[in-house]
Amino acid sequence: MATVDKLTILRDGALRVTGRLVDASNATLYATSTHNDDEMICIYKPIAGERPLWDFSDGSLAYREYAAYLISDRIGFNLVPLTILRDGPYGEGMVQEWITIDESIDLGVFFSTDHPSLRLMALFDAIVNNTDRKIGHLLPLTKEVVYGCDHGVTFHVEDKLRTVLWQWAEDPFNQQELEILRKAEELLAGELGALLEPLLTQEEIAATQHRVSRLISEGAFPLPNPNWPAVPWPAF
């Protein structure tokens, strides 16, 4: 396709809403971004369509989605589709590349397997404190290449990890995972931490840094918080 890169199309293209994902709790719009002769399918979540939550500040979910993308991109997880913040037909919001999944993969079976791509997702979720990793938020291109979506309820200062990916709880980190965590610790103390400042509160950034340091110190995947539901509802 590309005479220009995906970021240019997503950021600078004319954004046109063509549908809505009706099962989503917040306004989640199916859209296309067109830049000259290049078109890209995307998801647009306007801040104006965010439903207030008791434990997250109003109007913050789009920023958390973008923060999760930055964590994924800068640390090298490559688990979150290309995501930006931009203006659109219903105001500022999160815009994310649409991922067409391999529908031959049965997510109801795949999510519970001991697959490296899912284990990497579980590590990512532990860092961003994801409180809503549903089965349907897994987007497999193949079993080896899996993206994740819907990261609006992340980065809370309290331990609110809630996920369907608990199969590695208490498993020791391997060397690659420890290297990822050390890289995360270094970047969060520097350039990545600075990039997160317009998106999260100082307390949330500090809590993310503390989570990473704690994971390194404990050397293993976390256990569920006994004071918080371990699995989102509905799980799919």
Q: Residue 147: count other Cβ atoms within 10 Å of its Cβ.
A: 21
> Which CA distances in Å does 14 have to 17, 39, 41, 164?
10, 9, 12, 37
Amino acid at 102: D
Report how many domains make up the chain. 1
CATH of the domain at 14: 1.10.510
Does the pTM surpass 0.85? The reply is yes
pLDDT (mean) for 174-186: 98
- Residue 203 covered by a domain: yes
Q: What is residue 2's predicted lDDT score, i.e. its pLDDT?
A: 41
pLDDT at 1 over 60: no
pLDDT (mean) for 19-39: 91
Any idea what DSSP says for residue 89?
A: T
Q: Which domain holds residue 143?
A: 6-218
- Residue 123 covered by a domain: yes
pLDDT in tens, 129-145: 999 999 999 999 999 99
pLDDT in tens, 194-234: 999 999 999 999 999 999 999 999 999 999 999 999 999 99
